[in-house]
Structure 1
Amino acid sequence: MEKKFVLTVMLVIVLYTVLPWILTRMFGIGVFRRGSGAREIAFTFDDGPDPVYTPQLLELLGKYGVKGTFFVLGSKAEAHPELILRIHQEGHLIGVHNYNHRSNWLMLPWSVSRRQVERSAGIIESITGVRPVYYRPPWGIINLCDYLLRKRYTIVLWSVMVQDWRSNVGKERMKSVLLKQIREGSIVLLHDSGDTFGADKDAPGHMLQALEEVFGELSPQSYRYVRIDELTVSPSVVRFTKRMLVKVWMCWERSFVKVMQVKPVDAANTLLQLRITEYRGKQAILLTDGEQIQQGDRIAELHLDNNLLYRLGATSSSSVHLAIQLVRRTELLMPQIIRLLQTDPAYKDVKGLYGISIIHRGTKKLGFTVLDLPKGAFSFATRLYLRFLLYMVHPQGKERLKLKSELLVPKIIAISRKELMSRYIAQP
């Protein structure tokens, strides 16, 4: 039991930290890190505003007619509102870089969203009258739950980094790297403050010297220096990102099915998959037929074949069409589930079917009881996962997440063995 607990904790940590790092830093999934417009460059500046270096940077940007993007810390914006106002009035874009310069891996989801991002956005809005919609987490590190922030913020990383927070890199090295790596659509990461963890206090001075020389050498090439909100994003880039996300996700799905021993009810119609396990919920589930599923009862846990679900979603003309296909396939599988209950020794003491799903409309007609999930961390994590799944497989996933968010609540769906037997007759 102790080993299983340790493995569960390790899996949670990997999902919360390592998986988002792979998706964002290796594949660029869910984040914006490069534009596609001809001759466009976006210079971005983190960790400010700084009372010494930010005014010097603004003078330099004004001299060369460059519009930049500043990802500021809420605590510093609070301490230096005059600099925030100046950045805004001079036509630069302001984004959020958390309230404190702290890694999102070391914070709980609500701490990042409410205490770091929303608090900082509120401070900036109170100064400029404009609420930020762009967000860059410290060190470019996000946790799994930060994907929920994408409803309100675009998460921005970078394509060019010169380690300008270190003094020993020096002006010449910074300049050389910038000139070699800058391309059309580049998002350049720089820092106008050196007082965060791991940075040198005098490093921004070297950055300013290097940047002035870079501006002098790039200008004849007619690059356009634009804010993040002015960078062109190609629709093909968006499609490529989703394709990569699908590949990574399906790889994860295959691993999950194998490790958890999830098996399809029918090899020819794999929509419904089952896993024999014990019900671990603290609260008993009271079903409409009077039966109860209590902690420790053996159940057949319901899972959907997400690979098939994705294919159905991609070929469905609408959400209604997709829902009809799911209901029809489920109805066809019910007699086979009964056959398993009657003939398979592994199912002899299974009390019923149990699952959690956003796609629960119409399940009552099939005999299922539909119940709310108890509030808490599990409910929050489940909602995040299922919303992500809906985005992946639904024909209008992204739009549906925006327009129907109040309806996207995961529910418990369960049906007793007795109800199954009374409703469906197994075919010989």
Structure 2
Amino acid sequence: MRSYILSFWNVLDPLYYLLTRLEYIDRHSGIFRVRLTKYKGRTVILSDGTLIKKNDKLVKIHLHNSRILSELQYVPCSVRRGRTIFKRIFKSMPTLAEYIHNHKNSNEIKGAIGITMLHKGAEKLGFEIIQPCNMFYRLFKSMSQFPIFLLSSGRPKTLKIPDTYYLFISKEKLLQTYQKLTEEDIKYRDQ
């Protein structure tokens, strides 16, 4: 059943890509698709002092879920699936740093943002986890991401819908942590 859903999803994914105005930052091996956005949430102060307020420019990160789920389809253990996702994101972070650094609006971009219910390990990557204030927005995002949760978690012990969180990383922290990371550094940290 899962393989049929993934096949259907892979057919719909190009349409989703077009409708959301996403762009690849590395079409071949990366798992991020991004777009420039204006932040619409409450004011947030990140741990490095970066102030993010309404209408600030951020790069919104979307994981290429159909690619990830296709890769994880035959990974039986949920712990191993989580580690695989973590490694794929870690390997894509230098490309995200390079994308923001070279963006024509780089001076205006405050950082990157994602929204997810699969946030374990995000702090190790440098993200800060903050729950959106608006209850209706959280509910909408939780409902829209629930199919991804079901497909990525194997056989969940409960059908409780997990909470949804923002993941923030400031541009300075992203560049400082990932801009100079080499392939050798990434391979070393994988071990």
Higher strand fraction: Structure 1 or Structure 2? 2
Contact 1:278 1:299 in 2 (8 A): yes
| Structure 1: runs of 5 or more not aligned | 1-238
Letter in 2 for 1:403: T
The alignment's TM-score, normalised by the length of structure 2, stands at: 0.85
Specify the alignment match of 2:24 in structure 1. 264
- 1:253 has 2:7 as partner: no
Contact 2:6 2:66 in 1 (8 A): no
Partner-residue secondary structure (3-state), 1:405: coil
Deviation for aligned residue 1:247: 4.1
User: In 2 relative to 1, CA 420–393 (structure 1 residues): closer, same or farther, beyond 3 Å?
Assistant: same
Deviation for aligned residue 1:355: 0.9
Alpha-carbon displacement from aligned partner over 1:59-115 (angstroms, at most 9, x marks no partner): xxxxxxxxxxxxxxxxxxxxxxxxxxxxxxxxxxxxxxxxxxxxxxxxxxxxxxxxx
Deviation for aligned residue 1:264: 2.2
Specify the alignment match of 2:102 in structure 1. 343
Contact 1:351 1:417 in 2 (8 A): yes
Higher helix fraction: Structure 1 or Structure 2? 1
Deviation for aligned residue 1:378: 1.3
Letter in 2 for 1:365: K
Mapping of residues 71-82 of structure 1, within 5 Å: none
Contact 1:357 1:411 in 2 (8 A): yes
1:329 counterpart (83, 88, 104): 88
Specify the alignment match of 1:361 in structure 2. 120
Contact 1:339 1:426 in 2 (8 A): no
Specify the alignment match of 1:285 in structure 2. 44
Deviation for aligned residue 1:427: 5.6
Alpha-carbon displacement from aligned partner over 1:240-288 (angstroms, at most 9, x marks no partner): xx5554444344432121122212221222311111111122x112212
Q: CA RMSD in A?
A: 2.1
Specify the alignment match of 1:296 in structure 2. 55
1:418 counterpart (166, 172, 182): 172
Partner-residue secondary structure (3-state), 2:167: strand
Paired-residue identity, %? 19
Letter in 1 for 2:93: M
Letter in 1 for 2:49: G
Mapping of residues 5-154 of structure 1, within 5 Å: none
Contact 1:264 1:274 in 2 (8 A): yes
Specify the alignment match of 1:403 in structure 2. 158
Contact 2:9 2:66 in 1 (8 A): no
Letter in 2 for 1:405: K
Contact 2:114 2:167 in 1 (8 A): yes
Q: Write the distance in 2 (CA, Å) between the matches of 1:347 and 1:262.
A: 17
Letter in 2 for 1:379: R
Specify the alignment match of 1:372 in structure 2. 131
Contact 1:270 1:308 in 2 (8 A): no
Deviation for aligned residue 1:413: 0.5
Which of 377-386 and 246-255 deviates more? 246-255
Partner-residue secondary structure (3-state), 1:311: helix
Q: Write the distance in 1 (CA, Å) between the matches of 2:139 and 2:181.
A: 40
Higher radius of gyration, 1 or 2: 1
Deviation for aligned residue 1:315: 2.1
Specify the alignment match of 2:149 in structure 1. 390
Q: Write the distance in 2 (CA, Å) between the matches of 1:251 and 1:376.
A: 32
Deviation for aligned residue 1:381: 1.1
Q: Write the distance in 1 (CA, Å) between the matches of 2:76 and 2:7.
A: 23
Partner-residue secondary structure (3-state), 1:403: coil
- 1:276 has 2:36 as partner: yes
Q: Write the distance in 2 (CA, Å) between the matches of 1:328 and 1:389.
A: 18
Contact 1:276 1:347 in 2 (8 A): no
Contact 2:39 2:56 in 1 (8 A): yes
Deviation for aligned residue 1:338: 1.7
Structure of higher RCO (CA pairs closer than 8 Å, 6+ residues apart): 2
Q: Write the distance in 2 (CA, Å) between the matches of 1:332 and 1:246.
A: 24
Q: Write the distance in 2 (CA, Å) between the matches of 1:321 and 1:243.
A: 19
